Amino acid sequence: MKNYSTEKPIPNVAVIGGGLAGLSSATRLSQSGYQVTLYEKSNTLGGRAKTANISGFHFNYGPHALYRGGSAYQTLELLGVELSGAQPSLTKNYLSFENQLYVLPGNLWQLATSQFFSWQEKYHLVRWLANSQQIDANHLNHLSASEWVSQQFHHRRLKLWLTALIRLATYVNDLHTLSAEIACRQLQLSLRQGVLYLDEGWQKLVTELTKNFKHHKGEIKCKTAVSSIQPVDGLWQVESSSQKVARYNAILLALPYQECKKLLIPFKPDLPTGQSVHGVSWELGLSHLPKPKRLFALGLDNPYYFSVHSASAHLAPKSQHTVHVAKYLTGDEQGSAMEIKQELEEWLDTIQPGWKSALITERFLPKMKIISHLAAIPTAVFLHKLPGLAVAGDWCSDKYLLCDASIESANEAVSKLESYLATLTNYAYAS
Ligand SMILES: Cc1cc2nc3c(=O)[nH]c(=O)nc-3n(C[C@H](O)[C@H](O)[C@H](O)COP(=O)(O)OP(=O)(O)OC[C@H]3O[C@@H](n4cnc5c(N)ncnc54)[C@H](O)[C@@H]3O)c2cc1C
């Protein structure tokens, strides 16, 4: 970390995008003593990590769980963000298969007494779990996740089980578009250290990072969409919806793939090919749970998710419940929003029959962009040809997914920019 003396001019940096990638990198850069301006096109910071408070129920934009062994967790702790919340229960979980619910084994006793798996399947499952952390993900980069699943098990129910766990850990339903390397690494991460549901939702992360950034004299420009960037006289010129042009020594684009690509088009960047991953999110505030011991369910023969997040974290008024239901979408998903909502309602009837009479409030989001760009072959993004420019986001990592990819790539972008800024001797100034 560098501390600039007052005699020396202080380099300035523009960070574009106020989601977790932008907020964490802007905070780190401002802590290092740079003058940082954070541009965000919407009214408030947070991007996909925002949480809405509706009648006292904290609804994240879709079910959000923070991986305890992941890069985001470690970075947020280093930045002094308080991570209060709890791990979801491992023993009140269910599998749904052919309209029946079965216990999802969370310990050996539940596995031994499982009505779903045969004795032979139980044996293979225990062996697989015992060895799962030893699998070397680096050796799987030539396989898709679906090919990998087929290699792991011969029994159909075990293949369905592993597929559902990969969907849960990655949000990806098209397993043939997902690399086995990323799937395996993400699964190992979730099985090893589990996840946290956060008190008050992910907004807490956004609020704390913002406070930290402001404390280090960071400047925030909300409602300011950046429309173009270009290098001028050794500086980066930023044009935005505020109609003002500003110049910076360095620039960090912390944007989803599609928005980043728009700003980079003039430079003809060599970006990885891939596709975005979407999901349906349905959040419910319930006065009570008709079946209080059913806190989590995963579809095996359908790509559905159910979880009572308020059972672990403070997310609802006292003795009430915040529930997330989701559907993992494929790229060619058919069906209207209304049809999908009806499917999910019918599925919820099997898990929490009578939920309608407990409903206080709900929010249905039919198409959420969960991963802005999933490359078939994992590639980290480095732009060598544009000095003073770095990119970060959920599509910029060859190791991680989701917010771990956003924050890990933000860390790399910050290191890259700090090395670049250290090479500058005479600072030019913004007009
Ligand atoms: C339904 C759902 C469930 C999820 N569950 C999990 C989970 O369980 N675990 C997990 O780790 N992750 C999860 N994620 C992913 C996680 O939310 C994201 O990876 C992370 O929040 C992305 O942060 P980001 O900063 O990279 O991008 P974003 O949050 O998308 O932030 C980008 C920001 O840039 C702004 N912007 C765009 N264009 C411009 C412009 N031209 N000028 C200025 N600003 C601009 C946008 O308004 C936005 O605020 C989930 C996401 C969804 C949608």
Indicate the pTM of the whole model.
Answer: 0.95
- Rounded to the nearest integer, the mean pLDDT of the chain is 93
pLDDT, position 91:
87
pLDDT in tens, 64-119: 999 999 999 999 999 999 999 999 988 889 999 999 999 999 988 999 999 999 99
pLDDT in tens, 166-188: 999 999 999 999 999 999 999 99
For residue 431, name the pLDDT band (cuts at 50, 70, 90).
Answer: very low
61 & 35 share domain: no
Q: Is 268 inside any structural domain?
A: yes
136: left (phi over 0), alpha (psi -120 to 50) or beta: beta
pLDDT in tens, 382-404: 777 899 999 999 999 988 999 99
Q: Is 259 inside any structural domain?
A: yes
DSSP class of residue 115 equals S
Query: pLDDT at residue 362 above 60?
Result: yes
In percent, the amount of the chain with pLDDT more than 90 equals 86
Instruction: Please give the distance, rounded to the nearest whole angstrom, from the Cα atom of residue 349 to the centre of ligand 1.
Output: 31
Count of Cβ atoms closer than 10 Å to residue 346 Cβ: 10
Query: pLDDT at residue 7 above 70?
Result: no
pLDDT in tens, 24-75: 999 999 999 999 999 999 999 999 999 999 999 999 999 999 999 999 999 9
255 & 392 share domain: yes
**CATH number for the domain that contains residue 416:** 3.50.50.60
**CATH number for the domain that contains residue 293:** 3.30.519
- What residues does ligand 1 touch, defined as CB less than 6 Å away? 16-22, 39-42, 47-49, 61-65, 225-226, 254-256, 259, 279, 281, 368, 370, 393-394, 402-404, 406
Instruction: Please give the distance, rounded to the nearest whole angstrom, from the Cα atom of residue 344 to the centre of ligand 1.
Output: 25
For residue 331, name the pLDDT band (cuts at 50, 70, 90).
Answer: confident
Q: Which two tokens stand for residue 31?
A: 């802590």
* Residue located nearest, by CA, to atom 16 of ligand 1: 403
179 & 231 share domain: no
Element (H, E) at 421: helix 402-423
Q: What is the atom index within ligand 1 of the atom nearest the CA of 72?
A: 11
Q: Hey, what's the torsion of the CAs at 281, 304, 89, 64, to 10 degrees?
A: -30
pLDDT, position 421:
94
234 & 279 share domain: no
381 & 370 share domain: no
30 & 56 share domain: no
* Residue located nearest, by CA, to atom 5 of ligand 1: 64
180 & 213 share domain: no
297 & 363 share domain: yes
| Domain that includes residue 165, residue range | 106-193
Q: How many residues does the chain have?
A: 431
